[in-house]
Amino acid sequence: MRFVPRFTDGREFPEPLGKIVCVGRNYAEHAREMDSPVPDEPLLFLKPATSAVDMEAVIEAPFTRGEVHYETELALLIGEPLSDAAPDLAERAIVGLGLALDLTLRDVQTRLKDKGHPWEIAKAFDGACPLSAFLPLVEAPNWSALEFDLAVNGEPRQHGLGAEMLFSVPVLVAEMSRHFTLLPGDVILTGTPAGVGELPRGASLDLQMTGGLHIQTRVAE
């Protein structure tokens, strides 16, 4: 079933989900844990709308294809068209704030990287982007003060703080709009902090974010 963006107050967003624009290595400590250089410009890639699923449903993952890793990220819902926008205009186009899991087939990704091949199949498969409902935004929050957490089977695994992003939310969205026209219904993922790891079969997941968003879900066996 196609994912329908919705707000935490129960309203559905009037436009269908579009593309999901992602950034790699937007936290320095995550880049270091992956033994990768810290980038000096955003590393962008896309997930299709078909990769999105409801985070609150049981998460199905393709474990038969190798290790599946979790990467917890802030998710931004775009409400206005953006093309080559300035950061202040990009910021005003964000109408919802939620959480996402950027699921990654790590063995597949590593193999493709070693061959110098594109690695979309490790990031863009069906179910690769569990998304939460979005907190509606009337005005931009203090992006630097935003915090989010993931616990797996009750154990803290990831803690993200907006101030630790290499590229702030307004700058990141503006940069994305230079390369891809953003449309209402598109979703932005802002990168994952350190602490990524293998997603266990049958695990319980607890995700929280500043503003009162709290999600408890689980992974299929």
Per-residue pLDDT of the chain (221 residues; tens, 9 = 90+): 789 999 999 999 999 999 999 999 999 888 788 778 888 999 999 999 999 999 999 999 999 999 999 999 999 999 999 999 999 999 999 999 999 999 999 999 999 999 999 999 999 999 999 999 999 999 999 999 999 999 999 999 999 999 999 999 999 999 999 999 999 999 999 999 999 999 999 999 999 999 999 999 999 99
Condensed to tens digits (0 to 9), the pLDDT of residues 29-67 reads 887 887 788 889 999 999 999 999 999 999 999 999 999
Condensed to tens digits (0 to 9), the pLDDT of residues 179-191 reads 999 999 999 999 9
Q: Which amino acid is at 93?
A: A
Contact 30, 199 (CB under 8 A): no
Strands 20-24, 187-189: pairing is parallel
**Non-local CB neighbours of 64 within 8 Å, separated by 6+ positions:** none
Contact 58, 216 (CB under 8 A): no
**Percent helix, percent strand, percent coil in the chain, to nearest 5:** 20, 35, 45
pTM of the model: 0.96
Beta bridge partners of 99: 74
CATH fold of 20-218 reads: Fumarylacetoacetate hydrolase; domain 2 (3.90.850)
| Cα–Cα distance, 70 to 217 (Å, whole number) | 13
| Cα–Cα distance, 201 to 176 (Å, whole number) | 34
Domain boundaries, the chain: 20-218
